[in-house]
Amino acid sequence: MYVGELLKSLERIPSGVPGLDPLINGGFLPGRLYLITGPPGSGKTTIGIQFLIEGAKNNEVGLFVSFFDNPKIIIQDMLKYNLGLLSYVQSKKIVFYDMAEYLLHINHKMSWSELFNKILSFISEVNAKRVVIDSFTSMKDMVRDPENKRIALIKFIRELENKEVTVLLISEMVNPDTYSEEYYLASGVIVLHHFIRNYTMVRALQILKMRGIPHDSNMKRIRFTSEGVRVYAEAPF
């Protein structure tokens, strides 16, 4: 076992976000779950799409599981970037799963296990290697057994390890001053910040946590560019 593991820790999953990989020693670890959190409008979904496109470029299937937005709308919103999302959707390298539509259809609340199993079966079906879940907060609102969050998430993470699927789990930031449970369970946590300085909006990204990878946890300036979110090797000021 251990030689394989050793080698795996050298593998990297490039993030697709310009400027991010150098901060995390080349990319994510395969088979892990990473949390990305930030305030409204901070670029969480955009980073998720960039992550899937990076895989699609290398012929890996990427899955976007949406718990609120209509996929059509996400795709439309992404047209403002020169990311070529449309062609990957057409070639089925990037697949959207409209979980909200499904939930509206069945019209009852599911348990944490059922939701995660649903995601896992769809991963198998399309043979996805990269997955974005948007958002964990939306999931929390929709389950009927909120008390099982930690145990269900632990189980899901272990299934991902087996399948060697890498997941970006998007989380809506409610209170910027507390750490919630999933920060501790994820292999890594990327926090998007925005603050007003002299009435100007400044944006930054921070690698709060990145297990098994030497990383730079200082705040880095980010900007929205025509290629999506880009990280700069500099402080926000």
User: What would the two tokens of residue 210 be?
Assistant: 């990145």
Tell me the longest C-alpha to C-alpha distance in the chain: 55
234 phi, psi to nearest 5 deg: -155, 160
CB 13 within 8 A of CB 130: yes
Q: Report the site for a copy of itself in 44-73 (rule: CB under 8 A).
A: 45, 68, 70, 72-73
Considering the complex, state which of residue 57 and residue 223 has its C-beta at the smaller distance from a copy of itself: 223
Does the footprint of a copy of itself cover residue 172 (CB under 8 A)?
A: yes
Does the footprint of a copy of itself cover residue 75 (CB under 8 A)?
A: yes
Peptide bond between residue 135 and the one before it cis (omega within 30 degrees of 0): yes
- For residue 137, the number of C-alpha atoms closer than 13 Å in the C-beta half-sphere is 15
Q: ∠ CA 52-193-200 to the nearest 5 degrees?
A: 120
Q: Report the site for a copy of itself in 199-228 (rule: CB under 8 A).
A: 199-201, 204, 206-214, 217-219, 224
Does the footprint of a copy of itself cover residue 76 (CB under 8 A)?
A: yes
**Interacting residue with a copy of itself among 173, 227, 230, 232 (CB under 8 A):** 173
Considering the complex, state which of residue 60 and residue 77 has its C-beta at the smaller distance from a copy of itself: 77
If you search the block for the tokens 């999931």, which residue do you land on? 139
Query: Which helix H or strand E contains 189, and what residues bound it?
Result: strand 188-197
- The contact pattern for a copy of itself, residues 14-43, with x = CB under 8 A and - = no contact, is ---------------x--x------xxx--
CB of 27 to a copy of itself, least distance (A): 14
Query: Which range in 51-59, 116-124, 125-133, 178-186 contacts a copy of itself by CB under 8 A?
Result: 178-186
Q: Letter for the amino acid at 110?
A: M
Does the footprint of a copy of itself cover residue 128 (CB under 8 A)?
A: no
The DSSP bridge partners found for residue 171 are 37
Q: Report the site for a copy of itself in 80-119 (rule: CB under 8 A).
A: 80, 86, 89-90, 100-101, 103-104
CB of 169 to a copy of itself, least distance (A): 14
- The contact pattern for a copy of itself, residues 136-155, with x = CB under 8 A and - = no contact, is -xx--xx-------xx--xx
User: What would the two tokens of residue 64 be?
Assistant: 């976007």
Query: Which helix H or strand E contains 157, and what residues bound it?
Result: helix 149-163
